[in-house]
Amino acid sequence: MAEPRTLTPDDAPLSGAAVVRAEQVGDAGIIDKIVLEAFGPGRFAKTAERLREGAVIEAGFVACLDGRAAGSVRLWRIRVGETPCLFLGPIAVERSERSEGLGAAMVQACIDQARSLGSAGILLVGDAPYFGRFGFARVDEALLPGPVDPARLLWLPMGHVAVAGPVMIG
């Protein structure tokens, strides 16, 4: 897991009451609640959830407002073909706290973490209109272990590694 860290206002355009910090052991309950509220129980049927089963969490981040957790995201160790890399998700922010930059700050924390680890890149299943702003783009060469809308399978390369092949836990 990542070392505890706090984003300063230079890292992300958050209000003074907001910070993104590394997930800690005691956060599991509140993270489950945030994710359940955002996605509902149906998320367990998703291909992304199948991939996360058995995968190792590389890092997790929690977005806090006035010390209260209001959003969460995790990075998982995976491989695409022979290339070790990271899988982002689920990312969720409490409905009442959205559009305040918490989501962007958490994505940025994941990108910073991946870069500091020297990762080849980050894969995720999500909406290109949201994640495109961070540099994620559709990747057709990565094959998830189940059905996924190809327009929602997105890759952020770090360095010059082009990924291709089956996506597996790393």
Tokens representing residue 74 in the block: 């995790």
- Give the residue with the Cβ less far from ligand COA, 18 or 80: 18
Closest CB to ligand COA among residues 17, 82: 17
The DSSP line for 49-114 is: HHHHTTPPEEEEEEEEETTEEEEEEEEEEEEETTEEEEEE---EE-GGGTTSSHHHHHHHHHHHHH
Q: What are phi and psi of 55, to 5 degrees?
A: -80, 160
The CB-nearest residue to ligand COA is 103
Q: Work out how close the CB of 106 gets to ligand COA at its nearest, in angstroms, rounded to a whole number.
A: 7
Positions touching ligand COA (CB under 6 A) are: 38, 89-93, 98-104, 126-127, 129-130
Considering beta carbons, is residue 8 or 99 the nearer one to ligand COA? 99
In terms of Cβ atoms closer than 10 Å to its own Cβ (0-12, 13-18, 19+), residue 51 is: buried
Instruction: Give min distance, CB of 156 to ligand COA, in A.
Output: 14
**Minimum distance from residue 160 beta carbon to ligand COA (Å):** 26
Cβ 121 to ligand COA shortest distance, Å: 17
**CB closer to ligand COA out of 80 and 125:** 125
